[in-house]
């Protein structure tokens, strides 16, 4: 009797909402094991849910846009007892037989008169696979702790996606965008500038100079620590050997301990044609053109940051998002501040809508949409940014040869010491679970190196700040108000409007807000959020206060925030919760926002 498998959404440790981004199969479809059945998305990441076995789809239990959670059944698969070609249809409910899967490599090897020469081996105590923020931080910390350290990086420069084609170049461009918009805003104060003349080549050169300065600094720090660097793509041969493939050939590296920091890659939508006008976030940072009309697919933080840059360069924007809001992550009152300040950039904000087809011609790229806010006709764009999340690289490393467990979605499960199921192999960064953030990866890299050195270091992911580096910035950490409401927790929420901040008014930022969330019973700070210029620079104080169990009196009275600053709004919000704020009209106790008994 055929065996049925209920396929569920895996638990990847994400505390945010999950929704179905795309359903790839229908009842009756034949599938291989590991074929993607559905794709779910959350925050910055999109995750494929694969088939666990060869077989046929009996039932699909979700639809695009549907909210799901870990353990939610998405499909039912009838297992095949024999392998079969994926293209062969099912007839009469029976699963057809097929010859074993053909291996091109095995066929080639069989024709050789002798086995290929084994690559030369070198040895190290600590091998770090991946040179992004998590990887180079782990390597440098391991070297500082006295380990003979070798780092494998597939690109010529250290820094990974973040430094080379992510966080740093995007922030360089966002800084220039903010400067242009701030200059335009001075007209109301009597200071007027001519419209800017934009030289794309010079702008690219500036961005590349910023990146080059930082990558050069990393190379110098690696030399100073005697960290050896091998360039190439690494795959495990066994639990103590990595094989690196590069243009120069193969290199085998034997290690006693290893930290995997191999990162993630952007998800590309299969229906989009290959065209230079369709880019991911890395391609958008190349600044090859100034589009008149641009579509952003995905309303997450990365897409909105790049939308800000291209808006400053003159593009009119459309954004399409399957969920019912843009910028998932922060509380909706904070996100609304961003929405009000940025509505002018967009011609169309299509929520509960998805792009379903596209074709390119000389005039542009034409896209069709389905959903609540879909236009009736296909729309033409000069540039399309697909920003629907990233997938971890766990399934690209032959980790099973080392005995390392890898989840169906490509994540490598780890404990608080960042150790995998193989005690001497650790994993950090994007590949070790959500959220996919560089500052999380750096902290994990330090913990992994210290744990490998025998220290009692542990990673706590409950206080990882999130920041949208948009205009204005939005930052949050710890418990959110929305989460407190969902859990029916007894909390008190204090909002301090920047319209009562002298520095914010002087800077033209009176639209901002600082919010603190306190435990009602004990008074401890549980979380907080900021919307306004510099929010990302200030959120660290809230994270520290939460980690130390501070109450409103400690934040508002024990800390003397300088005046006038935007940072003092954290003290004023604490005073508001404490009942001692004199910068706002007197508050009735009943006006405090509380949840729970």
Are 283 and 310 within 8 A, CB to CB? no
Give the C-alpha distances (Å, rounded to integers) separating 42 from 51, 295, 351, 477.
Answer: 20, 20, 15, 17
Residue-wise DSSP of 134-169: HHHHHHHHHHHTT--EEEEESSSSSSHHHHHHSHHH
pLDDT of residue 53: 81
Can you give the pTM of this predicted structure?
0.80
Cis peptide preceding 182, ω within 30 of 0: no
Angle at alpha carbon of residue 348, lines to 346 and 349, rounded to 5°: 90
Query: Range with the lowest mean pLDDT among 54-63, 509-518, 559-568?
Result: 54-63
Residue with more model confidence, 421 or 32: 421
pLDDT digits (tens, 9 = 90+) for 51-108: 888 888 999 999 888 888 888 899 998 887 654 444 344 334 443 333 344 444 444 4
Angle at alpha carbon of residue 341, lines to 338 and 347, rounded to 5°: 100
Residue 457 has pLDDT above 80, yes or no: yes
Long-range contacts of 70-74, Cβ-Cβ distance < 8 Å, separation of 24 or more? 70/8, 70/9, 70/10, 70/11, 70/12, 70/18, 71/8, 71/9, 71/11, 72/8, 72/9, 73/6, 73/7, 73/8, 74/7, 74/8, 74/9, 74/20, 74/37, 74/38, 74/49
Catalytic residue among 206, 560, 563, 578: 563
pLDDT of residue 87: 38
Question: For residue 78, which phi and psi values (nearest 5 degrees)?
Answer: -95, 120
* Average pLDDT rounded to a whole number, residues 314-335: 96
What structural domains does the chain harbor? Answer: 4-83 (2.40.50.100), 121-265+392-462 (3.50.50.60), 278-388 (3.50.50.60), 472-595 (3.30.390.30)
Mean pLDDT comparison of 28-32, 76-80, 180-184, 252-256, highest-scoring range: 252-256
Distance CA 483, CA 493 (A): 12
pLDDT of residue 98: 36
pLDDT digits (tens, 9 = 90+) for 225-257: 999 999 999 999 999 999 999 888 899 999 999
- Is 563 one of the annotated active-site residues of the chain? yes
pLDDT of residue 19: 82
């Amino acid at each position: 009797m055929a065996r049925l498998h209920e396929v569920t959404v895996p638990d990847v440790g994400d505390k945010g909402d999950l929704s179905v981004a795309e359903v790839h199969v229908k009842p009756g479809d034949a599938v291989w094991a590991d074929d993607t059945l559905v794709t779910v998305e959350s925050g910055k990441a999109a995750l494929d849910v694969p088939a666990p076995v060869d077989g046929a789809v009996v039932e699909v239990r979700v639809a695009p846009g549907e909210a799901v959670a870990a353990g939610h059944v998405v499909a039912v698969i009838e297992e095949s007892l024999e392998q079969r070609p994926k293209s062969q249809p099912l007839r009469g409910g029976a699963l057809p037989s097929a010859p074993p899967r053909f291996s091109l490599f095995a066929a080639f090897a069989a024709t050789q008169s002798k086995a290929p020469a084994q690559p030369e081996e070198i040895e190290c105590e600590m091998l770090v696979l991946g040179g992004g923020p998590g990887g180079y931080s782990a390597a440098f910390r391991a070297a500082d702790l006295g380990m003979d350290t070798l780092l494998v990086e597939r690109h010529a420069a250290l820094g990974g996606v973040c430094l080379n084609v992510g966080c740093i170049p995007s922030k360089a461009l966002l800084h220039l965008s903010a400067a242009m918009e701030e200059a335009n805003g001075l007209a109301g104060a009597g200071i007027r500038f001519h419209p800017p003349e934009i030289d794309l080549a010079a702008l690219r050169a500036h961005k590349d100079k910023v990146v080059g300065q930082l990558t050069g600094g990393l190379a110098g720090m690696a030399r100073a620590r005697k960290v050896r660097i091998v360039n190439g793509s690494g795959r495990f041969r066994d639990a103590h050997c990595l094989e690196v493939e590069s243009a120069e050939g193969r290199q085998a590296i034997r290690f006693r301990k290893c930290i995997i920091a191999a990162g993630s890659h952007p998800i590309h939508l299969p229906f989009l044609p290959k065209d230079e006008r369709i880019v991911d976030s890395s391609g958008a940072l190349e600044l090859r053109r100034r589009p008149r009309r641009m579509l952003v697919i995905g309303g997450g933080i990365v897409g909105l940051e790049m939308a800000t840059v291209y808006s400053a360069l003159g593009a009119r924007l459309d954004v399409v998002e399957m969920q019912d809001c843009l910028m998932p992550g922060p509380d909706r009152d904070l996100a609304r501040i961003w929405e009000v300040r940025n509505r002018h950039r967009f011609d169309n904000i299509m929520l509960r809508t998805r792009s379903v087809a596209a074709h390119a011609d000389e005039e542009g790229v034409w896209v069709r949409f389905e959903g609540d806010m879909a236009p009736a006709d296909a729309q033409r764009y000069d540039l399309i940014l697909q920003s629907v999340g990233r997938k971890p690289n766990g399934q690209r490393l032959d980790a099973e040869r080392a005995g390392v467990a890898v989840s169906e979605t490509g994540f490598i499960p780890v404990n608080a010491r960042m150790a995998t199921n193989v005690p001497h192999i650790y994993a950090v960064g994007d590949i070790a679970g959500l959220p996919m953030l560089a500052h999380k990866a750096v902290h994990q890299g330090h913990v992994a190196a210290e744990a490998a050195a025998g220290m009692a270091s542990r990673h706590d992911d409950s206080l990882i700040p999130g920041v949208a580096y948009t205009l204005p910035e939005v930052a949050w950490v710890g418990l959110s108000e929305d989460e407190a409401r969902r859990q029916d927790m007894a909390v008190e929420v204090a909002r301090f409007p920047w319209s009562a901040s002298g520095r914010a008014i002087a800077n033209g930022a009176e639209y901002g807000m600082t919010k603190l969330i306190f435990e009602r019973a004990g008074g401890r700070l549980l979380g907080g959020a900021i919307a306004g210029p510099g929010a990302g620079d200030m959120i660290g104080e809230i994270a520290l206060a939460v980690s130390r169990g501070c109450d409103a009196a400690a934040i508002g009275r024990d800390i003397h925030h300088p005046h006038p600053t935007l940072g003092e709004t954290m003290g004023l919000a604490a005073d508001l919760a404490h009942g001692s704020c004199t910068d706002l009209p007197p508050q009735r106790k009943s006006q405090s926002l509380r949840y729970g008994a």
